[in-house]
Amino acid sequence: MAFPPLDFSKDRLKLLDQRKLPGAVEWLECRTAEEVVQAIRQMVVRGAPAIGVAAGYGLYLGIQNFEGRREDLLKLLEEKAALLKEARPTAVNLAWAVERVKKRVLSEKSRSADELKIAALQEAEKIREEDDRLCRAIGKHGARLFKAGETALTHCNAGGLATSGYGTALAVFYTLQEEGKAVSVYATETRPLLQGARLTAWELTQSRIPVTLVCESSVASLMRAGKIKRVVVGADRIAANGDTANKIGTYGIALLAKAHQIPFYIAAPSSTFDFSISSGKKIPIENRSSEEITEGFGKRTAPAGIRTENPAFDVTPHKLIAAFITEKGVLNPPYSKSLKVLRLSNDS
């Protein structure tokens, strides 16, 4: 079952407000690049592929109403691209999508301003269509790693809501279900914003895939009891050596999986690999507001004035990752070889 988190029509980007799930299904309409930036920052839309798709449309919205010379439109394009890329720093898909749309516009050398706007929209649409195909390919490759009836763990939300509609990590489970080899899933709450409880559990329940919601603090006990056979999570940025940034808490789960000899997989499209950085040490980590911890969902749960640290992501070293599940296949260690092949295929 697909869960598209966005829709674009009549020069308006409609975003499923993921802050309201599972209690309400509400859509937020964006008509400008600035409104898309705010929606990304406030996590109306989230998940690396999804914010990339949204940002691609956002760049088009930033220039759609321009009237004037081609040269002035290109200046405006640069301004809106810079604005969008600053919306959230960790997920590489955002900047990748913005740069891709910008590159398409700049490649149209002899086109008028109106034709350049059409080119921007066409490229944004292409990114969305490609993401759906890539996610379905990820699902097919990942499903081959599983046996029918196995129980897997996932962290945060890497489902349809985090992509164009089909997911990365959850795409594996959707494909298994379609193939008649359904597995059952443990989903962590994913504190402090509870993406696992609010989004992943909702998606899987809607798809009639058996899901059990657990606190992150219970993962070690579940693994020791033999209740988890595999772990599949998504990613927001993957360095050239395979070090992977994902939702905070992923690193701890990877350590536990290693200790219990449980395969730990990353499911992500090739666009999530950032070959411009050598290791996870260079991945910027977004720090979010203290209120997400002290006043979660509007109710204070901590003393006023308490110091907090609220990193949104952590980095899992590549040595803890059993394989990467991509649209181009399953990449196994040594990553110095398999990721080099992926990089070459991306460049070709």
Two tokens at 52? 């990339």
Backbone angles phi, psi at 154, to 5 degrees: -135, 155
Q: Which sequence positions are flagged as catalytic?
A: 236
Two tokens at 15? 């975003």
Q: How far is CA 42 from the centre of its chain?
A: 15
Helix (H) or strand (E) holding 125: helix 113-143
CB 231 within 8 A of CB 257: yes
Q: How far is CA 83 from the centre of its chain?
A: 20
Torsion angle in degrees (nearest 10) through CA of 130, 136, 139, 144: -110
> Going edge to edge, which strands form the sheet with 6-9?
6-9, 12-16, 27-30
Two tokens at 219? 């993962």
- Give the β-pairing of 264-267 and 323-326: parallel
